[in-house]
Every structure is written in C-alpha cells, then in structure tokens.
Amino acid sequence: MNDERTGAEGGSNEPELKGIDLARRALEEARAAAKASGKAVGQGRASRGRLRPKRRRRGWSGPGPDDRDPQPLGALAQSLSKQRGWSTHVSEGTVMGSWARVVGDDIASHAQPTTLRDGILHVSAESTAWATQLRMMQSQILAKIAAAVGHGVVKELRITGPTAPSWRKGERHIRGRGPRDTYG
C-alpha cells in the first residue's frame, strides 16, 4: 500500500508532509485537476484578478488625516472657485460682503462700499468729514483689503461724501435754479 501524500512506503525520496505543507500540496493538486478539466482557477471570492480594483478597507481612518475625513466647507468652496475660474469674483464679493471685517467696525459704521469694477472700489461716506478722513487713510485701507482678499483685487479707492438733496421732484418743486446759496 503506497501512500502518495505522505510518502511513507514504496521507496519514495520525499519526506513525510505535515501541517501546512500537506495543505499546500493538496491545494496545488486540486488546482491542477481543475485546470485539466477546463475550469477557471483562482477566480474565487478572495482573488481580485486584473478587472476588479482593490477594495478599500472599511472602518476608521485612524489618527492621521485621510481623504475620507470631513473637509471644511470654505476649503471646498475655494478649490471649486479656483477650478472654475471664479476666484476674482469671489474676492470681489468678499470685499463687498465682509466690509466690516475687512476694514474694521469704526470705518464700516461710517462708510459703505457701493460698487467694485475693474479694480476701482467706490465708497460712500456718511459725511464730508468722514470722506476726507478716509481719503487720508486710503493707503491703510488698501493694505487691509489686500491682506484680507489678496493683492490686485482692489487697486484704487474712490471715496465720495453725501450728496445734496434734490428738489427737482415733489409737490414743493418750483421752476427755476433752486437754492444755490445753501449747498455749494
């Protein structure tokens, strides 16, 4: 009685196989038998093959940063605006929308931005005194804006004071030149 798996009898030169070596030989024989009968070998659940991509391990990402971690909305919006070419429009909107944060509460309470076109920011002050003060502080305001939104977004400031009231319309309108001696 010749035992082929163990090589115990029959004058075989192979040593007796035990444990994992025995399991390996049995697997090799099963694969060879499957190949001989025309079946696909190694296409089971555990093997990926070249068509199926490697699956990600599910679970926690660990203590380090990972691309699956939640991303800040601001960073996501900034990358989207860069990809789409909206960076200048977003910067302009930041100047207009965050005026108080950009220039400070004191200036923002007395002056408001009205328009921003071609790098020229038009600012309307509440009084002529504030308009004069802002004109003297123009370089500091431009530096604050550049620090908040980047250089080149606002190149120049045009600061205007309040306008005189118009009596051109209404029930008390009288034809003629109007009050020239009061506002001049």
Over residues 151-173, the pLDDT tens digits come to 888 999 999 988 776 656 777 66
Residue pointed to by tokens 């555990």: 46
Of the pLDDT bands very low, low, confident and very high (cuts 50, 70, 90), residue 69 is: confident
Over residues 20-64, the pLDDT tens digits come to 888 888 888 988 888 888 877 765 555 555 555 555 555 666 677
Of the pLDDT bands very low, low, confident and very high (cuts 50, 70, 90), residue 126 is: very high
Q: Cβ neighbours of residue 120 under 8 Å, at least 6 residues apart?
A: 154, 155, 156, 157, 158
> Which carries the bigger pLDDT value, residue 53 or residue 99?
99
Average pLDDT of the chain to the nearest whole number: 78
> What pLDDT sits at residue 180?
60
Mean pLDDT of 100-106: 91
The kind and range of the H/E element at 81 are helix 73-84
Going edge to edge, which strands form the sheet with 120-125?
111-117, 120-125, 156-160
Mean pLDDT of 5-32: 74
> What pLDDT sits at residue 107?
92
DSSP state of 45: S
Q: Are strands 156-160 and 111-117 parallel, antiparallel or unpaired?
A: unpaired
Radius of gyration, alpha carbons of the chain: 40
> What pLDDT sits at residue 1?
47
Distance CA 143, CA 157 (A): 11
> Which carries the bigger pLDDT value, residue 114 or residue 1?
114
Lowest model confidence (mean pLDDT) among 45-54, 68-77, 92-101: 45-54
Return the bridge partners of 115, or none. 122
Query: Which domains, ranges and CATH numbers included, belong to the chain?
Result: 85-160 (3.30.300)
> What pLDDT sits at residue 142?
93
Distance CA 144, CA 101 (A): 10
